[in-house]
Structure 1
Amino acid sequence: MAESQRNVFDVFESIDQINTVDSDVEPNMLESDDEDDSNFDPQSIDEAVGSDSGSDEDHGPPPERRRRLDGPGNGVAGAADAFSDGWSRDLGGYPVSAVFRSAPGLHIPDGVNATTPADFFSLIFTTQLLKLIKRETNRYAATEIARVGAAGKPNSIFKLWKPVTLVDLRGFITILIHMALIDKDRLSYYWSTSPIITTPFAAQIMSRDRFLAIMAFLHVNDNDTYIPRGQPGHAPLHKIQPIYEQLRRTFTSLYTPKQKLCIDEAICPWRGKLRFRVYMKDKPNKWGIKLYELCESSSGYVSDFEIYAADPNLSNKPVDVCVRLMQPYLDRGYWLYTDNYYTCPALAYQLMERGTVSVGTVRHNRVGMPKCLANQSVAKGSSDYRVKAGLCVVKYADKKNVNIITTCHDPTSIVTVTTRTSTKDKPEAVQDYVLNMAGVDRNDQLMSYMPLRHRTQKWWKKLFMHLFSMCLVQAKILYCKKTGSKVCLGEFVIQLGTEMSHNFFAAKAEQQRRRSVVSPAPPAPKPSSASRLIAQHSHYPENIPPTPKKDKPYRACHVCYQRSVKDRGGQKRIDCKRRETRFWCPVCKVPLCATPCFQDFHSRKNFL
């Protein structure tokens, strides 16, 4: 028992003597990634802890206490270079410059004169996309109506459904824009006539039941082409795949970003059951569908994005995600900024080989990191660095230790940063990272102003609304870049909604005009005095036919109304009140009380 205790004591004494410097492990660097981290180096921990086999073997005398690995600020240069594995402070041949070979700007298709908010929105949410939604929505509606058959209530959406048209979809999109501007708890509130919450705009575009019917049958892909999970060719994002792929192509083709880009995660809120739902504790909405976004650092424009769907056929390792998103911009001299979830020496070397600069915070236990710098104690406000094969790692001590990988910054260059409360000297790499890593955060902030967060039981519809909000933000950014306007997002969406509504009403009027020209409805014959007095035309009372809104409609009796109208002297022609009736004459097309008005109308020439 005593021998076992002595062995344990020897191990911990050895650990204490080896780890003679203060630990610089930051709290946020101990968090695990969502995926397996292939760049984590367990040897960096095993070498420090050693092996406790529990045997009676004599471990020998404890090792000598090592000197503290001081930084350049303490006047000791190169004290740790003997343990650096090729890392040193020698800046010879560093950095290697990367020439920017791209021409940033918009790429508007030939023949398109984009000047208004609606023009730029139509460049992203195209007519081709609307035709796809129209085709798949009508296909799904026909399938479901055939499946349900004669079941259901008479006024259900299955009985009252009419195939959706492009004009209907433009009205549907206009109402979504209205909902993005004015947030209400329930969809039905947008059609409410209560004075405290009424907003008549949606009701002017289309009825509530029509909007809800389109929302219920909304589809963007054919269900018959779905391949079940576990079979070859399965696509987890099948429900949203066409619009997802179309928007990615559109975002990339419409605009070439400036030199500095960044990659980070965004999240589409979703708390329902979903196989690839993730938890991100640092996000305002912690549960949802994760998106990897490649953004322009200065504006937040999303040049490309990927939706994480736990697809076994697609590698979700951070390095692979970065390389896939950067594929159109490699070998062109771009700068990529990443956080410590993505950054590692392996990524930096891959990008450097493809003529791309890499800058990002990095965890000290990544594979290939200089161990001498990880164990280095740096005084607060000072920094140290190591260079190897064109790659530089800068360690800066602020409130906590920050490790930066860069392939372009001079590690000895210091900039002065002045805030409202203090003035600090920081390495140029650290300050440049702070200024250019916020592109995704800018985009997330803008999208938070235009929420479409109404509840739905379908995860892909939630994602569809998220992508729709993204389109609004993208259109605003392109509009400002083309016109030079500094309009805020809210004002831009107001202008967009106004223009979309005007276009909808014009298209609706044109649609009705074309229908009247193609098949003009014959005018309803007016009953003559002679015909209505003859019973051969079979004038018998019937119930007024149901309408799309009412199963049992009521209308004002024609005879009672005429009798209740006042003459020029202000007196009623006959002492009678205006009445509502459920009956009419199907031949005369006139609503009448069953008795006595029906008989009076058909038997008296002057029934007043």
Structure 2
Amino acid sequence: MSARKKITLSEEEIRFMIEESTDGEESTDGEEEIQDESDSSTCSSENEDEFSSSDDENVLPSDWTRKGKSKLPFTFRGDSGVKFIIIDKENPMEYFAKFFDEVIDYLVTETNRYAGEFLDENGDRLSSQSRVNRWYDTDACEMKLFVGLLILQGIDSKLENSMYFTSRESIATPFYRKVMSGRRFDLLQKFLHLVDNATITDGPGRKTAKIKPFTDLILKKFRENYIPRKNISIDESLMGWKGNLSWVQYIPAKRKKFGIKFFELCESSTGYIWNFCIYSGKNTTFLDKYKNLPVTSRVVMSLMDPLLGKGYCLYTDNFYTSPTLADMLVDNETETVGTLRLTRKDVPAFIKNAKLKKGETVAAFRNKSMVLKWKDKKDVCVLSTLHDDSMKIVKSRRGHEKSKPKAIEDYNNNMGGVDLSDNLMVHFSTARNRLKKYYKKVFRHMLDMCLLNAFITYKMLGGKFPRREFTLRLAERMVSTYARRNKDAIRRPTRLVAKPSRLFERHFPEYCPPTEKKQKPLRKCALCRKNGKRKETSYWCKECDVGLCAAPCFKEWHTQE
């Protein structure tokens, strides 16, 4: 037996070792946290073992072999599919209701509670003209109407919320003002709340206390309404947020580089979001039975826990994949395929050190696991419990044929579940960049997730409409079903805005229409009022909806800018 000798590491390997946390699996490829929560910047003894190798690169550890036999995959026993019954399969409201109806009742309770607490604490300091004095408790009907308008705003995107309710003709969308006044909409946005503040206490979950009851309720509906098919994937997703929050992450590879990080488990083929957890640093909540595992293994095992033992095949990237994690998943009758960092513990030394030419492969086998290294433009290493080292002829985008390991081809086809859901949610998103409270951004992000999952189940049950039509029909149905005229609904604007079309359309003076009280009513002349005069007239312009003196005001109104 040859003696162990000291290994010389490259600058890149040393830098990676320093960035790794003590468990050797916590840093993200291409990711950098804003707040460094690592207690140590040096490698522990476990890290040293992970990066150590044999004196002779051709010597294998006793449990790895160069040749392996094909392993039969685990029998899939997941009861996959949609778990609810729909009466009208072309009615988008029925699908969305399965995910959000219970949430609506929760939002009504917490919003009314928070508004009451705010008025009790600040009532003495509010001016008599404050809009808050006009608050009255909301109900499920109005909250659904509010959510319907949010969904519609995701399709009809404008820079500011006030632009949806303006009467300025060039940008006006009268539909919104017919459904709900801008003042009431703003009050619902202001007092929208996701938790009873009295229940928030200091402790491990303090960072996410304002959103956890709400996200737990959403997560429950995701799991109840659909069971994913065999191929699933786990990856990170980033909800854009640049506010002052201690657990904001910076990920350069993402479209929005700053934000709140979600660990998500999605179905590979559709992007259905089945499980997720929100990263909040050391206080991130995982299942207690996995507390002794490295962080990345805790993420995977906590998200996978309800699906273990059912023959699922999990795809992960090199942030999560390790031989130790693969062994744990195999013990729970779960296959795994993922790219692998060569610096992971238990990776054979000869795999790490092998110098390959383009197209060549080298593999090692242990029990049901295989580690394979393949040279393409650069070295690619993959771990699989489902494949052997066989190759497959594939066509590139330009039609060229080349040989590629089957494990890598399957990984490319099934790893993109989380990316697929992220790409779909970008379109028609209700989230806005300028929200001042992070929990309101989380609320809108959860709403987007519900809309996506509702659409996926709609397509599963044979729906024919594309996503834009599905979303638009959902918003229209919600508004038409729950819209109601009340004292706060439609109101003439307090500030008169002249319509640009008055200068080029054909407008004619008419007598003011009779009302219930008067047969010949009078109106204030708009032009006189604009000039600081108070004058009433019996004439008006129907198209401009303003009172005008017959002469000379009517002519001047329609000819002068």
TM-score, normalisation: structure 1: 0.72
Q: CA deviation at 1:86?
A: 3.2
CA distance in 2, matches of 1:86, 1:45: 18
Q: CA deviation at 1:223?
A: 0.6
Which range moves more in the overlay, 177-186 or 335-344?
A: 177-186
The partner residue of 1:390 within 338, 360, 368 is 368
Q: What pairs with 1:140-539 in structure 2 (closer than 5 Å)?
A: 140-228=114-202, 231=203, 234-310=205-281, 311=283, 314=286, 317-420=295-398, 422-451=400-429, 452-485=431-464, 487-505=465-483, 508=484
Residues 381 and 360 of structure 1, relative CA distance in 2, 3 Å threshold = same
Which range moves more in the overlay, 260-269 or 175-184?
A: 175-184
Query: Is the 1:557–1:579 contact (alpha carbons within 8 Å) kept by the matching residues of 2?
Result: no
CA distance in 2, matches of 1:27, 1:299: 40
The partner residue of 1:107 within 75, 80, 83 is 83
Residues 42 and 563 of structure 1, relative CA distance in 2, 3 Å threshold = closer
Q: CA deviation at 1:453?
A: 1.6
CA distance in 1, matches of 2:48, 2:63: 20
Query: Is the 2:222–2:273 contact (alpha carbons within 8 Å) kept by the matching residues of 1?
Result: yes
Residues 30 and 419 of structure 1, relative CA distance in 2, 3 Å threshold = farther
Residues 319 and 207 of structure 1, relative CA distance in 2, 3 Å threshold = same
Tell me what 1:9 maps to.
Answer: none
Query: Is the 1:155–1:548 contact (alpha carbons within 8 Å) kept by the matching residues of 2?
Result: no
Note if 1:119 corresponds to 2:94.
Answer: yes
What amino acid does structure 2 have at the position aligned with 1:373?
Answer: I
The partner residue of 1:37 within 24, 27, 32 is 24
Q: CA deviation at 1:272?
A: 0.8
Cα deviation digits, residues 352-409 of structure 1 (max 9, x gap): 0011001000100101111110000111122111101221001111121111000011
What amino acid does structure 1 have at the position aligned with 2:273?
Answer: V
Residues 557 and 492 of structure 1, relative CA distance in 2, 3 Å threshold = closer
Cα deviation digits, residues 400-458 of structure 1 (max 9, x gap): 11110000112123332332163221000000000000111110000111232241221
Cα deviation digits, residues 129-152 of structure 1 (max 9, x gap): 111111111111111111112432
The partner residue of 2:64 within 68, 87, 93 is 87
Q: 1:498 is paired with a residue of what secondary structure?
A: helix
Tell me what 1:98 maps to.
Answer: 74
Query: Is the 1:412–1:427 contact (alpha carbons within 8 Å) kept by the matching residues of 2?
Result: yes
CA distance in 1, matches of 2:15, 2:77: 37
Query: Is the 1:33–1:341 contact (alpha carbons within 8 Å) kept by the matching residues of 2?
Result: no
Q: 1:305 is paired with a residue of what secondary structure?
A: strand
Tell me what 1:538 maps to.
Answer: none
Tell me what 2:559 maps to.
Answer: none
CA distance in 1, matches of 2:378, 2:19: 19
CA distance in 2, matches of 1:27, 1:392: 27
CA distance in 1, matches of 2:208, 2:309: 31
Tell me what 1:534 maps to.
Answer: none
Q: CA deviation at 1:461?
A: 0.8
Tell me what 1:521 maps to.
Answer: none
Cα deviation digits, residues 76-126 of structure 1 (max 9, x gap): xxxx2x34443222214x4242111123211005x8655411111111111
Cα deviation digits, residues 493-533 of structure 1 (max 9, x gap): 1111111122123xx37x99xxxxxxxxxxxxxxxxxxxxx
Q: Report the count of equivalent residues.
A: 477
Q: CA deviation at 1:297?
A: 0.3
CA distance in 1, matches of 2:374, 2:222: 37
Q: 1:328 is paired with a residue of what secondary structure?
A: helix
Q: 1:265 is paired with a residue of what secondary structure?
A: strand
CA distance in 1, matches of 2:433, 2:183: 17
Residues 180 and 31 of structure 1, relative CA distance in 2, 3 Å threshold = farther
Cα deviation digits, residues 314-354 of structure 1 (max 9, x gap): 45811111111111111111000000000001110000001
Q: CA deviation at 1:556?
A: 12
Query: Is the 2:370–2:384 contact (alpha carbons within 8 Å) kept by the matching residues of 1?
Result: yes
Residues 420 and 195 of structure 1, relative CA distance in 2, 3 Å threshold = farther
Q: CA deviation at 1:194?
A: 2.6
Q: Which runs of 5+ in 1 are unaligned?
A: 1-13, 49-62, 70-79, 513-546, 566-575, 581-608
What amino acid does structure 1 have at the position aligned with 2:24?
Answer: D
Residues 401 and 196 of structure 1, relative CA distance in 2, 3 Å threshold = farther
Q: 1:483 is paired with a residue of what secondary structure?
A: coil
What amino acid does structure 2 have at the position aligned with 1:466?
Answer: H
Residues 304 and 454 of structure 1, relative CA distance in 2, 3 Å threshold = same
Q: 1:395 is paired with a residue of what secondary structure?
A: strand
What amino acid does structure 1 have at the position aligned with 2:424?
Answer: L
Residues 577 and 216 of structure 1, relative CA distance in 2, 3 Å threshold = closer
Query: Is the 2:278–2:284 contact (alpha carbons within 8 Å) kept by the matching residues of 1?
Result: no
Q: 2:215 is paired with a residue of what secondary structure?
A: helix
CA distance in 1, matches of 2:152, 2:12: 49
Q: CA deviation at 1:283?
A: 0.5
Residues 313 and 426 of structure 1, relative CA distance in 2, 3 Å threshold = closer
CA distance in 2, matches of 1:27, 1:449: 41
Query: Is the 1:404–1:429 contact (alpha carbons within 8 Å) kept by the matching residues of 2?
Result: yes
Tell me what 1:529 maps to.
Answer: none
Tell which structure's C-alpha radius of gyration is larger: 1
TM-score, normalisation: structure 2: 0.78
Q: 1:142 is paired with a residue of what secondary structure?
A: helix
Q: CA deviation at 1:193?
A: 2.4
Query: Is the 1:294–1:440 contact (alpha carbons within 8 Å) kept by the matching residues of 2?
Result: yes
CA distance in 2, matches of 1:577, 1:422: 81
Q: CA deviation at 1:167?
A: 1.7
CA distance in 2, matches of 1:463, 1:145: 25
Query: Is the 2:374–2:381 contact (alpha carbons within 8 Å) kept by the matching residues of 1?
Result: yes
Q: CA RMSD in A?
A: 3.4
Q: Which runs of 5+ in 2 are unaligned?
A: 27-45, 496-511, 524-533, 539-561
Cα deviation digits, residues 275-312 of structure 1 (max 9, x gap): 21111111011111110110000000011111112316
Q: CA deviation at 1:29?
A: 7.7
